[in-house]
Amino acid sequence: MKVSITENTGYDETSVEIHCRECDANVRKLQRHICSYDERFACSSEGGTVYVNAKDIFYFETIDNKTFLYTKDKVYEIQKRLYELEDTLSDKDFFRCSKAIIVNVTKIERLKPELTRNIMAVLSNGEVVVISRRYVKAFKKLIYLEELG
């Protein structure tokens, strides 16, 4: 892979452009990697824009076609869909735990399976997020629980 840097004082901001023969899985992975480099999310807050670091995010939730970002004690609206976020977020730290929620695994403090086959995930700020039974298998695989049987 050829990497080149073009310097020009006329540029307003740094931009990265990928030139490829075909946009395959590797190219997409590279794109995700570049996008996640910045690891900040622009959110709307009382008319202004706030940038939140990925490590401060507890979870994302979609309610009525709007996406919200939750930190320890604040909620912001974000102009991205969950599937778009899934592409940019680290799949080792963030996990799609239900149709409407992506949770930061590193913020989960305690897990409690339920008779309904869901898992209740208690976050470090005391909030509770449900890992829906449809996503439980993938979650166990992520934290290597399946290997334990």
Specify whether the CB–CB gap between 109 and 123 falls below 8 A: yes
Number of H helices, E strands in the chain: 3, 10
Helix residue ranges per DSSP H, the chain: 25-38, 82-88, 133-142
Work out how close the CB of 49 gets to other proteins at its nearest, in angstroms, rounded to a whole number. Answer: 27
Is 11 among the residues that bind other proteins (CB under 8 A)? no
Q: Which of 4/65 has CB closer to other proteins?
A: 65
According to CB under 8 A, which one of 44, 79, 116, 125 is a site residue for other proteins? 116
Q: Which stretch binds other proteins (CB under 8 A): 14-22, 44-52, 76-84, 123-131?
A: 123-131
Distance, CA of 17 to CA of 108 (rounded, Å): 36
Distance, CA of 102 to CA of 89 (rounded, Å): 10
Binding mask 71-110 for other proteins (x = CB under 8 A): ---------------------xx-----x-----xx-xxx
According to CB under 8 A, which one of 113, 125, 137, 141 is a site residue for other proteins? 113
